[in-house]
């Protein structure tokens, strides 16, 4: 279960590439874990490290001075494409990411992020450009993310409003997980199941 | 009496599975079948244990080991201790929670999206989920099937439900007739090349049109499998007689009067005349060529006789940067022909193209021929049953005689978790679904293509057009039983 999502202020890590797929966020060879811990070192592994485990030169943005501790990513369109691996969200969480700004996200990645307390904020193209331009001028610009008010406060005092599914907002603000919500629907599921007999029985021996 | 509002198949399946929905909340959607594999499930089972809860419906759940297992001789060791530990953990979890497992050595073992249909567990009108994005494969049967994350795997294990917003619908209409040498894989690669890998985000594809109707079930699965590569979590095809013929007699399919009743129900699923979609696109099957990707996502695909696109021709700066980076990774030049590009490895297999009819196509090309010097051809069946079937038909002998490695079932080099991988800088023609950087091994370079194109390329030692093979006409129509 994620921590309740509170207002926070952070500088931003820009990763302008479009269509960043989850194989880049966490390469498949790191999916052999049976827990969630320790995935920070797998994050963007092959963009950050050479074969021998040393940092690439020039360094990938995450490993440049001053990036550690930043909680916001600004990324290109369709971030998180491809595989359903929730390891991508776990690795981002482990690195410290709490919010992402982009024009769009792949569906499964967006769901996985929300379930791990990472807020995937969608902005329009003009705003997206404006944010990259702002960071080009001031790489250490601080943004304040206020989920309750659905706003991103910029250093110039302006606010970018964003939309979010009201249910997801409620869950992530409270740090509540959806499983608790679903378990409470147990009685309704009993009723549904009584009216809809199981279509298959995987336990039945093959004929 | 007012006429019912016309509905798409997606809307019919959806409304049939909504358990309840609070105002402002997503629907609680019932899941008919939950498929489980070793990679995306261990943390979900740990979550159940931490809460002290069980699996609500073990009989609607089935597991297999496919991603990280060796596809060499099964007596050989796993690639590393972690892979072995993960498969052992799956076995322990299934035993503890009472879930049937088709593990290594079980005749039902195979890639999760191959065994579901093969066992008759995948049926029309169902909701099917798995912690795997290629769950869209099962949409070929007219099921609403989609990939989920591990948190959601835990939810389905615990409650047999998920929280879902109703999806938008996207009609992909494919009319006309495929020409010899062009197959289902080329349809889906052409779609993704047109709409891009985010084109279907937020939508479910419904594939319609007479070119889709003409496809066998194996071919329909190839198309639906890569829906996620177009950004759609699910893609489906309304069931018809082809579907029912495939299912009849399979292990978990109803028999006798129950079969007749099931078919009668399934016949009500197709989208009503006059139902509308949120989006639509039309593809002309006659105009399709074999497709091949040149870049680092599945949307970077071209007809095989075309040249590699040039970054200079991209109006959008983001797309220009992406193309420049992709061509640098692939070490390809703008404008160069993709035909004739030297290759090192050919991979035939995966949940996209690892079924018996895919192997028949590859074998048809390879029979009496030999893999080019310096090229490694791996043929990896999608399941143990596919392997047995292929051997009974003599396909295994054809592959071996052609100089191919004829291996055991699993995901293998599609995801390269099990040690089956490209070396840095190598080029592969692969029948799998993803050509992302490093997907088939760190530094490896992937050209996605059909089994026909893959087999033709293995013989030529370069990317080759299967339409130039003598006798290609006799291999079409593709793959019929």
Convert the pLDDT of each residue in B6-23 to its tens digit: 999 999 999 999 999 999
The tokens of B365 are what?
């090309």
Q: Sorting pLDDT into bands at 50, 70 and 90, what band is A206?
A: very low
Encoded tokens for B81: 């201790």
Band the pLDDT of B2: cuts 50, 70, 90: low
Cα–Cα distance measured from residue B37 to residue B90, given in angstroms and rounded to the nearest whole number: 7
Q: What is the reported pLDDT for B35?
A: 98
Tell me if B84 sits within 8 A of A165, measured CB to CB: no
- For residue B231, the chain A residues in CB contact (below 8 A) are 78, 81, 106-107
Say what the pLDDT of residue A177 is: 86
pLDDT exceeds cutoff 60 at B479? no
**In the Cβ-directed half-sphere of B74, how many Cα atoms lie within 13 Å?**
11
Instruction: Identify the pLDDT of residue B269.
Output: 98
Helix/strand/coil (H, E, C) string of B366-384? Answer: HCCCCCCCCCEEEECCCEH
Tell me the residue length of chain B: 481
Closest-CA distance of chain B to residue A66, Å: 26
CB of B206 less than 8 A from some CB of A: no
Q: Which two three-digit tokens encode residue A92?
A: 């981002």
pLDDT at site B242: 98
CA distance B414 to B350: 6
CB contact under 8 A, B68 and A32: yes
Mean pLDDT estimate for chain B: 96
Task: Count the residues in chain A.
Answer: 207
Instruction: Tell me which of A138 and A38 has the higher pLDDT.
Output: A138
At A116, list the tokens: 């791990």
For chain A, give the percent of residues with pLDDT over 90. Answer: 94
Please tell me the distance from the alpha carbon of residue B144 to that of residue B136, in angstroms, as a whole number: 8
Asked whether residue B439 carries a pLDDT value surpassing 70, the answer given is yes
B392 touches chain A (CB under 8 A): no
Q: Do B252 and A181 touch (CB under 8 A)?
A: no
pTM: predicted TM-score of the whole model, two decimal places: 0.97
- The confidence score (pLDDT) of residue A1 equals 55
* pLDDT tier, B76 (very low <50, low <70, confident <90, very high otherwise): confident
- Residue A123, number of CB atoms within 10 A of its CB: 19
- Side-chain-side CA neighbours of A77 within 13 Å: the count stands at 17
Residue numbers in B near A85 (CB within 8 A): 39-40, 149
User: What pLDDT does B75 receive?
Assistant: 79
- What percentage of chain B reaches a pLDDT higher than 70? 98
* SS3 assignment, position A149: coil
| Residue B73: per-residue pLDDT | 83
Q: Cα separation of B477 and A170, whole Å? A: 53
CB B57 within 8 A of CB B5: no
Q: How far is CA A18 from the centre of its chain?
A: 15
Sheet bearing B279-284, strands edge to edge: B234-236, B203-208, B168-175, B279-284
Cα nearest neighbour of B18 on chain A: A192
Mean pLDDT of B186-191: 98
Helices marked H in B250-355: 256-266, 317-330, 350-353
Q: What is the structure's pLDDT at A155? A: 97
The pLDDT assigned to A176 comes to 86
Which of A1, A81, A205 should we substitute to test contact with B (largest number of B Cβ atoms within 10 Å)?
Answer: A81
Contacts of A75 in chain B (CB under 8 A): none
Q: Tokens 């990938």 identify what position?
A: A60
Select the residue from A179, A184, A189 to test the B interface by mutation, using most B Cβ atoms within 10 A.
A179
Q: Is B30 close to A193, i.e. CB distance below 8 A?
A: yes
pLDDT at B107: 96
> What beta strand segments (E) does B360-471 contain?
376-379, 405-406, 427-430, 445-448
- Alpha carbon distances (Å) from B18 to A181, B8, B30, B163: 15, 16, 6, 10
User: Does the pLDDT at position B481 exceed 90?
Assistant: no
* Residue range A108-127: mean pLDDT, rounded: 97
| Mean pLDDT, residues B109-138 taken together | 98
Of the ranges A74-83, B35-44, B68-77, B434-443, which one carries the lowest mean pLDDT score?
B68-77
Label residue B74 by pLDDT band (50, 70, 90). Answer: confident
- Cα A41 to Cα A3, A53, A153, B36, B479: the distances in Å are 22, 10, 31, 27, 45
What percent of chain A clears pLDDT 70, i.e. is strictly above it? Answer: 98
Task: Report pLDDT digits (tens) over A7-23.
Answer: 999 999 999 999 999 99
Nearest to B292 by CA among B384, B428, B162: B428
pLDDT bucket at B1, cuts 50 / 70 / 90: low
Chain B residue numbers touching A110 (CB-CB < 8 A): none
pLDDT at residue number B478 = 36
pLDDT tens figures, A120-148 = 999 999 999 999 999 999 999 999 999 99
pLDDT tens track for B281-333: 999 999 999 999 999 999 999 999 999 999 999 999 888 999 999 999 999 99
Of A167, A178, A182, the CB nearest to B24: A167
For A86-108, what is the mean pLDDT?
98
Element (H or E) spanning B159, and its range?
helix B150-159
CA distance A97 to A71: 4
């Amino acid at each position: 279960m994620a921590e309740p999502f509170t207002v926070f202020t952070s500088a931003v890590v820009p990763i302008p590439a479009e269509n960043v797929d989850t194989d880049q966020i966490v390469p498949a060879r790191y999916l052999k874990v049976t827990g969630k811990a320790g995935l920070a070192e797998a994050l963007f592994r092959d963009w950050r490290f050479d074969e021998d485990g040393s940092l690439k030169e020039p360094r990938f943005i995450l490993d440049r001075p001053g990036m550690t501790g930043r909680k916001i990513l600004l990324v290109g369109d369709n971030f998180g494409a491809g595989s359903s691996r929730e390891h991508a969200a776990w690795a981002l969480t482990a690195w410290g990411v709490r919010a992402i700004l982009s024009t769009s996200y792949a569906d499964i990645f967006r769901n996985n992020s929300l379930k791990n307390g990472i807020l995937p904020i969608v902005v329009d193209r003009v705003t997206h450009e404006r944010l990259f331009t702002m960071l080009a001028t001031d790489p250490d610009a601080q943004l304040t993310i206020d989920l309750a008010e659905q706003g991103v406060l910029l250093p110039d005092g302006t606010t970018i409003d964003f939309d979010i599914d009201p249910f997801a907002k409620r869950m992530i603000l409270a740090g509540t997980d959806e499983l608790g919500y679903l378990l409470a629907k147990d009685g309704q599921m009993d009723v549904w199941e009584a009216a809809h007999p199981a279509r298959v029985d995987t336990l039945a021996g093959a004929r | 009496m007012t006429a019912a509002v016309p509905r798409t198949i997606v809307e019919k399946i959806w409304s049939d599975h909504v358990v309840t929905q609070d105002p402002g909340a997503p629907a609680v959607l019932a899941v008919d079948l939950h498929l489980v594999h070793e990679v995306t499930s261990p943390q979900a089972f740990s979550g159940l244990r931490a809460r002290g809860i069980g699996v609500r419906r073990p009989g609607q759940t089935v597991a297999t080991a496919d991603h990280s297992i060796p596809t060499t001789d099964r007596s050989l060791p796993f690639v590393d201790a972690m892979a072995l530990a993960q498969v052992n953990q799956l076995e322990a979890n299934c035993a503890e929670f009472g879930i049937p497992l088709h593990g290594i050595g079980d005749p039902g073992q195979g890639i999760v999206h191959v065994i579901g249909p093969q066992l008759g567990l995948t049926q029309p009108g169902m909701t099917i989920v798995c912690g795997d994005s290629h769950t869209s494969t099962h949409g070929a049967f007219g099921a609403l099937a989609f990939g989920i994350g591990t948190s959601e795997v835990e939810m389905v294990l615990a409650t047999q439900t998920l929280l879902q917003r109703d999806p938008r619908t996207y009609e992909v209409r494919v009319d006309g007739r495929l020409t010899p040498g062009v197959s289902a894989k080329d349809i889906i690669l052409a779609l993704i090349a047109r709409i891009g890998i985010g084109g279907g985000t937020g939508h479910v594809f419904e594939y319609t049109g007479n070119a889709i109707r003409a496809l066998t079930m194996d071919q329909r699965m190839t198309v639906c499998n890569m829906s996620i590569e177009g950004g759609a979590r699910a893609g489906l095809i309304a069931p018809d007689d082809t579907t029912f013929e495939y299912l009849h007699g399979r292990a978990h399919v109803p028999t006798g009067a129950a079969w007749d009743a099931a078919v009668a129900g399934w016949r009500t699923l197709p989208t009503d005349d006059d139902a509308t979609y949120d989006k639509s696109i039309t593809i002309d099957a006659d105009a399709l060529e074999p497709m091949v990707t040149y870049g680092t996502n599945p949307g970077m695909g071209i007809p095989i006789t075309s040249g590699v696109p040039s970054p200079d021709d991209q109006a959008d700066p983001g797309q220009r940067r992406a193309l420049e980076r992709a061509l640098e990774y692939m070490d390809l030049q703008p404008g160069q022909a993709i035909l004739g590009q030297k290759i090192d490895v050919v991979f035939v297999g995966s949940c996209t193209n690892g079924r018996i009819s895919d192997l028949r196509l590859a074998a048809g090309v390879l029979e009496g021929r030999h893999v080019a010097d310096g090229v490694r051809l791996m043929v990896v069946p999608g399941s143990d049953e596919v392997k047995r079937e292929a051997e009974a038909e003599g396909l295994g002998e054809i592959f071996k005689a052609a100089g191919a490695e004829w291996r055991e079932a699993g995901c293998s080099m599609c995801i390269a978790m099990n040690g089956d991988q490209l070396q840095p800088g190598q080029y592969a023609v692969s029948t799998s679904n993803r050509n992302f950087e490093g997907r088939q091994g760190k530094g490896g370079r992937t050209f996605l293509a059909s089994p026909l194109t893959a087999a033709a390329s293995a013989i030529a030692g370069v990317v080759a057009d299967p339409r130039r093979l003598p006798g290609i006409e006799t291999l079409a129509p593709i793959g019929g039983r």
